[in-house]
């Protein structure tokens, strides 16, 4: 769903940008087919208005860099991506959607048939204005540019700082062992049964207020419809808000966390965001991937 929303928003913003630029078509002359450009450049009426090749290059490079940074910010802070590959892949998908929209809707359907874009003195060049192949080639050129821009976005995201989970020491002292025993006893007291699509899954639950509240909800059985998201998690609403203690967290496969106080997230990959830890599924990464990456699932909690 977020892909659809982001695609609509980006296509809308791109349309607005094109509309603003179209108010003075001469500024977009280099987006026209070559024969039209040549004719316009030969007309005295436009001689002093034609942008230079240098301006064209500077504008495209500047716009590409700006878009790459904006894309990085969106994918980091809205989508929650933290790795180069996730950012590059999803960014490339978004770019392709907008690029296809540009080629088909804005160029072939709108530009090629709207008299507003016809320069005075080129009215006879109907075939050139209807040169659909020029815009199709532009789509593939745009895909090549996407590789560079999305790689830039991926690099920016991968360099953004985030907190890592502190790993437990290899040799805990006596106090830590005692704390672990107390924690284990507490986990037994609040133990819940987790089922995914009817299959009971082994879980080690955290000892915190969020798990206590979740146990209360699970007393009468709690069924949650989960949805795949981002290629690394399943997320679903628990139907109400419960106690939360969000901390910047880098998750790994098997982690169960609370998001925004009202959504449960089960990971079969990794992500970094502010979560409250709920528990850990005791399965291998391959088993988790097989369980969670093949479509939406139903999660059931009971006592």
| DSSP labels, the chain | -HHHHHHHHHHHHHHHHHHHHHTSGGGGGGGS-HHHHHHHHH-GGGTTTPPPHHHHHHHHHHHHHHHHHHHHHHHHHTS---SHHHHHHHHHHHHHHHHHHIIIIIIIIIGGG-GGGPPTT-TT-HHHHT-HHHHHHHHHHHHHHHHHHHHHHHHHHHHS--PPPPPPPSS--HHHHHHHHHHHHHHHHT--EEEETTEEE-EEE--SHHHHHHHHHHTT-EEEE-EEETTTEEEEE-SS------EEEE--TTEEEEETTTEEEEESS--EEEEEEEEEE-S-HHHHHHHHSSS--EEEEE-
Q: What DSSP line would sit under 149-191, residue for residue?
A: HHHHHHHHHHHS--PPPPPPPSS--HHHHHHHHHHHHHHHHT-
Helix 53-77 vs helix 84-101: crossing angle, to nearest 10: 120
* pLDDT surpasses 80 at 56: no
Q: Say if residue 129 is in the same domain as residue 17.
A: yes
Mind listing the pLDDT tens digit for each residue in 254-267? Answer: 999 999 999 999 99
Q: What is the pLDDT of residue 292?
A: 94
* pLDDT surpasses 50 at 211: yes
180 lies in a domain?
no
Q: Is the dihedral of CA 104, 105, 107, 109 positive or negative?
A: positive
Residue 163: pLDDT band (50, 70, 90) is very low
Residue 80: pLDDT band (50, 70, 90) is confident
Structural domain count, the chain: 2
Q: What is the pLDDT of residue 81?
A: 84
Mind listing the pLDDT tens digit for each residue in 105-159? Answer: 999 999 999 888 899 999 999 999 999 999 999 999 999 999 999 999 999 888 8
**Choice among 100-109, 157-166, 167-176 with the minimum mean pLDDT:** 167-176
Q: Say if residue 142 is in the same domain as residue 234.
A: no
Q: What is the pLDDT of residue 168?
A: 39
Enter the pTM of the model: 0.53
Q: Say if residue 135 is in the same domain as residue 267.
A: no
Q: Say if residue 24 is in the same domain as residue 136.
A: yes
Q: Say if residue 264 is in the same domain as residue 218.
A: yes
Give the closest residue to 211 by CA, choosing from 121, 120, 279.
Answer: 279
Distance between CA 4 and CA 80 in Å, rounded?
Answer: 17
Which range marks the domain in which residue 238 is found?
Answer: 189-302
Q: What is the pLDDT of residue 31?
A: 85
Q: What is the pLDDT of residue 180?
A: 52
CATH number at residue 249: 2.40.100.20
Tell me the average pLDDT across 192-216: 93
Please give the residue that has the higher pLDDT: either 277 or 179. Answer: 277
Q: Say if residue 8 is in the same domain as residue 140.
A: yes
Q: What is the average pLDDT score of the chain?
A: 85
Q: Say if residue 194 is in the same domain as residue 155.
A: no
% of the chain beyond a pLDDT of 70: 89
CB 217 within 8 A of CB 240: yes
Q: What is the pLDDT of residue 44?
A: 87
**Choice among 41-45, 61-65, 223-227 with the minimum mean pLDDT:** 61-65
Domain termination residue (choose one: 159, 177, 204): 159
Mind listing the pLDDT tens digit for each residue in 7-38? Answer: 899 899 889 988 887 788 888 888 899 999 89
């Amino acid at each position: 769903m977020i892909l659809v929303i982001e695609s609509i928003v980006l296509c809308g913003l791109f349309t607005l940008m094109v509309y603003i630029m179209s108010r003075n078509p001469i500024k977009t002359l280099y987006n026209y087919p070559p024969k039209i450009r040549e004719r316009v450049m030969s007309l005295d009426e436009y001689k002093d208005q034609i942008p230079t090749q240098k301006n064209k290059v500077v504008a495209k490079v500047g716009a590409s860099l700006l878009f790459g940074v904006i894309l990085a910010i969106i994918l980091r802070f809205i989508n929650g991506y933290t790795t180069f590959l996730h950012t590059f892949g999803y960014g490339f998908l978004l770019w392709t959607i907008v690029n296809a929209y540009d080629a088909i809707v804005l160029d072939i359907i709108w530009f090629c048939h709207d008299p507003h874009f016809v320069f005075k003195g080129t009215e006879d060049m109907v075939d050139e204005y209807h040169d659909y192949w020029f815009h199709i080639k532009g789509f593939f050129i745009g895909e090549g540019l996407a590789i560079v821009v999305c790689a830039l976005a991926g690099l920016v995201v991968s360099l953004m700082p985030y907190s890592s989970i502190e790993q437990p020491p290899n040799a805990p002292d006596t106090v830590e062992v005692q704390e672990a025993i107390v924690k284990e006893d507490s986990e037994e007291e609040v133990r819940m049964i987790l089922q995914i699509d009817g299959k009971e899954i082994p879980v080690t639950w955290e000892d915190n207020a969020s798990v206590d509240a979740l146990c209360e909800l699970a007393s009468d059985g709690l069924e949650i419809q989960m949805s795949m998201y981002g290629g690394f998690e399943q997320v679903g609403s628990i139907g109400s808000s419960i106690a939360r203690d969000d901390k910047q967290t880098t998750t790994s496969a098997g982690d169960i966390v609370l998001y925004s106080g009202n959504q449960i997230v089960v990971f079969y990959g990794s992500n970094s965001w502010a979560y409250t830890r709920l528990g850990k599924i005791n399965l291998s990464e391959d088993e988790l991937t097989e369980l969670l990456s093949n479509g939406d699932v139903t999660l059931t909690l009971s006592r």
